[in-house]
Chains A and B, each alone.
Chain A
Amino acid sequence: MLELIRQPWHWSTAGILIGLIVPLLLILGNKSFGISANLRHICAACFPADISFFKYDWKKEIWNIFFAVGIILGGFLAVTYLHDPEQVKVAPTLVSDLAQFGIDDYTNLVPNQLFNWHSLLTIKGFLFIVVGGFLVGFGTRYAGGCTSGHAISGLANLQLPSLVATICFMVGGFISANLIVPFLLKL
């Protein structure tokens, strides 16, 4: 049984369990699933700077910070107790394309050759680690949510604005992965 849990899970198992987070949070306390709101709460708690968007009582949303801390702990527990020693399996076309850019380390879910402290000081690493993160933070709040808030809980409640947002997430991602990421990898 433990062996089965250690292996990468099937998409249907993951999809069902992630989908159940939506009713779980509603039933635990009328909360709606949306991780990126925490980025706003951190701004409100730490750097409000008299900006009206950050002037609210973030403590009333503290449940979400607890949820976010739980995700970090969950990530830790997964690699500590349920670690899968196998290499990450990736589509062969992606493997051959990435090899051209010198990325061939599949020991971790996050490519070690791109995301490490050393590469942070290179232009390429800076773009992947810092600029990428900035776009995620700016874009999600401008859109009013991320994958969990719009694509999962918004669509689950049949919200058309969330459908528009999800389509735009995907369009941005298609452009980025096929045009921008290959360019950045060349740097």
Chain B
Amino acid sequence: MSKIKSGATANIAETMNTDFEVRSLDAQTVNGGEKDMSFLRNLKFMLAGIFFGLILVKSEVISWFRIQEMFRLESFHMYGVIGTAVVVGIISILLIKKLKIKTIHGDAIEFQDKRFTKGQVIGGLIFGLGWAITGACPGPLLAQLGSGVGVISITILSAVAGTWVYGKFRDKLPN
């Protein structure tokens, strides 16, 4: 265990971090304590996921047709959903920072700044191409699977493969 840990830390130090979504890799955060791995403590995140999945289906965000409409400028729906979500998110984070709101466990809430990388442009364009083809980004793909479209499991596996291939060739790509 400790061997793996030190190995991972060494590797992270060698290559520049371009992915700020694995918070347990960042030493300054309080995430990832042993108690954070218990089943019961994580159930609340499953409930949050259920809530998110319900919203994605009922607002038709998981609709392939809605994604085509968005990119063909035929409907305001998706712009409305994402735009409103961003505004609510901005206000929420401002309030959390201003009022120094803590987590339910009493920890301070921390934020991490992201750095510019070439991947945000190149990877962003590649993801955009895929997004319009599958008609879904990763969250909606999961909800589509749950809504009973079994073949989407292949799309998700293929997305895992895409991530793996990125990881494999990461050092050779412009970052």
Contacts and interface: CB of A to CB of B under 8 A. Distances in A.
User: Which secondary structure dominates where chain B touches chain A?
Assistant: helix
A66 B49 contact: yes
User: Which secondary structure dominates where chain A touches chain B?
Assistant: helix
B59 to A, nearest CB: 3
Contacts of A22: 85, 88-89, 92-93
A28 B49 CA distance: 12
Contacts of A123: none
A102 interface: no
A99 interface: no
B144 A110 contact: yes
Contacts of A128: 133-134
Contacts of A150: 120, 124
Given A15-B82, A36-B138, A71-B52, A60 B24 contact: yes
Interface of A: 5, 8-32, 34-43, 47, 49, 51-57, 59-64, 66-79, 82, 88, 90-91, 93-94, 106, 108-111, 114-117, 119-120, 127-162, 164-178, 180-181, 184
14 contacts: A21-B48, A29-B31, A53-B166, A55-B11, A59-B37, A61-B23, A70-B52, A117-B150, A130-B155, A134-B130, A136-B159, A146-B137, A156-B92, A169-B127
